[in-house]
Structure 1
Amino acid sequence: MSLMIRKPKTRKGKQILLAREPQLIEAAKQMLVVEGRKCSGNIKTFLKDVHQLKKPLCKVLNRSNDITPFEDPSSLEFLALKNECTLFVLGSTSKKRPDNLVLGRLFENEILDLIELGIKQYASFAEFSSEKVGTCVKPCLVFSGPKWNQTEELRRLRNLLIDTFQRDKVKAIRLQGIEHVISFTCLEDLSIAMRSYKISLKKSGQKTPRIELTEIGPRSDFSIRRTKIASEDLYKQSRRQPKEIKVSKKKNLSRDGLGNSHGRIHIGRQDIQKLQTRRMKGLKKTSEIK
């Protein structure tokens, strides 16, 4: 979809357009939740649970939208640009594709990747009586199974799921701050099993606590239907980082296991006889020594 370059007429409009431009340090990605022309009960419940997991980095469109992203993605690109979202999930139901989900992301206001999933089994948050985690908790994502690296579609799906469920990037995290884990397992028939657990730290009699996992939902099994991924060149371009934020490697500098920095300095060969030292009368050579 070709977008016209608009010139701002007010100061506030200029600030909005500047905020939409590429930044050196990008903020956390917003996700758009869209309902299709017709949705089943499982699809509506899944979209509500996704909003619960993603909020406040999520915007929901409650009205039904007749959108077919694989045939004509222009309307979806318009909605994502209007709501300032780079990720989206579209739920719909039809006779040909029941309980259908479309995950995708945008680059430069155009569709980058599209992956269509079908829900085979689903259990929502409400079906689990266990205690839930708090809001805005950064989940720990686990990908199990050796098949994630077999095809390019599965690699892109894994990367897309990371973009979908991750939050703000953090430099460090304490052990008590890990409360939620979402597991994705790629099975033998290439279906995806999604499980969500709450992490509880129990006493173990040692320094490291004992970890217990309690399933809190949602629980779902997906089947991969259609995929439309970007070319390798466009995918590399979307991952390119500006030179200003790249960390340049410093020579002769290393870190040990404790995080201490060790540096090595190279100096030229020195002549001890020509070193400038403090002059002392007691060390002055006499005529007899000469």
Structure 2
Amino acid sequence: MMKIKTPKKGRVKRELDKRAPKLVETGKKTLILQGTKTSGTLNSVLSEIYHLKKGGAVRFTRKNDNIRPFESGGETSLEFFSLKTDCSIFVYGSHSKKRPNNLVIGRMYDHHVYDLVEVGVENFKSIESFTYDKKIAPRVGSKPFIAFVGEGFENVDELKHLKEVLLDLLRGKVVENINLAGLDRAYVCTAISSNKVYLTHCALRLKKSGTVVPRMELVEVGPSMDLVVRRHRLPNEGLRKEAMKTAKDQPKKKVKNVSSDAIQGTIGKIYIPDQKVGEMALPNKAKGVKRERREAKNKDANEHASKKQKEESE
């Protein structure tokens, strides 16, 4: 049997915990690499994907002849690179006569291949081929809008799968709140047919609308390309269940002296100690106490005088 080594140093343990699968993913790094043979178009596509994902991507420019997605034993190097770079999604480019300008996008779970989508790139236009005002160019690291147009993303299984993979590839880090002024880009994916998607990158220009919310215009800044779905592989059921695992509902801790009622709602009991009024210390110069004593003294004097007058009259 193989002996499993556990880390002894705290630094190594913390690093392994960071790379371990998490219940809630905050962001995914992208690994960009290429096969033995590529084309000029495919090199430009990989370069511009790396530019769009700058800060959250790692690119290898060397040729890899032992990476063959969709084949048994051809994914070992992919899993090794994923473990080495801590990347959860990869883009692999290759070019051949049978599959020209081939792009494979895949996701990893626990540094093992989770699923794969293979697309062919057609009608590619780079960023340099678009003319626009450079002042509206999207900033590096800004959060994008992602729009999917077409019924195919809801009806066709291949496009459904492609939609999930593109969302993970393009959305970047997950955040809860975002400033409207920081939104300056949008990815628009249009389903042209049952196996072809038009992908374009646009900048957002804010215009006055007469209301608090500004009017937005899309300006195409590139790159743009047609993605033709060729092959795709869904994860097996066991791996899907493991990856989709959520945290179990923790039982609520019982709170003392608190109960709930269908009519009155939450009812709580509050402990109040006995108040010993007789032992309370009163201030020495209490005006109210002096006035009460004076009034009581005058009352006693009046009663005594009236009683004396009554006795003398008798």
| Greater shift in the superposed pair: 107-116 or 234-243 | 234-243
CA shift at 1:204, angstroms? 2.8
Superposed CA offset, 1:120-159 (max 9, x none): 1100112123222110011110001001122333222111
| Structure 1 counterpart of 2:58 | 59
Which of these residues, 105, 108, 125, is aligned with residue 107 of structure 2?
A: 105
Q: Give the alignment of 1:1-290 within 5 angstroms.
A: 5-8=4-7, 10-66=9-65, 67-71=67-71, 72-130=74-132, 131=134, 132-243=137-248, 266-267=263-264
CA shift at 1:237, angstroms? 3.1
Percent sequence identity over aligned pairs: 35
SS at match of 1:15: helix
CA gap of 1:155–1:235, structure 2 versus 1, over 3 A, is: farther
State the structure with more CA Rg. Answer: 2
Superposed CA offset, 1:53-89 (max 9, x none): 1121100111111111111211111111111111000
TM-score, length basis structure 2: 0.73
Separation of aligned partners in 1, 2:223 and 2:183: 18
- RMSD of aligned residue pairs (Cα, Å): 2.3
SS at match of 1:217: strand
| 2:129 partner amino acid | E
Do the aligned residues in 2 keep the contact of 1:195 with 1:218 (CA within 8 Å)? Answer: yes
Separation of aligned partners in 2, 1:235 and 1:152: 17
TM-score, length basis structure 1: 0.79
| Greater shift in the superposed pair: 235-244 or 111-120 | 235-244
Separation of aligned partners in 1, 2:27 and 2:243: 16
Do the aligned residues in 1 keep the contact of 2:152 with 2:194 (CA within 8 Å)? Answer: no
CA shift at 1:210, angstroms? 2.3
Relative to its length, the structure with more helix (as a share) is: 2
Q: How many residues align?
A: 249
Separation of aligned partners in 1, 2:130 and 2:3: 48
Superposed CA offset, 1:253-274 (max 9, x none): xxxxxxxxxxx97229xxxxxx
| 2:95 partner amino acid | T
Superposed CA offset, 1:86-122 (max 9, x none): 1000011111111010000111221111110001110
Question: Tell me, which stretches of 5 or more residues in structure 1 are unaligned?
Answer: 249-263, 269-290
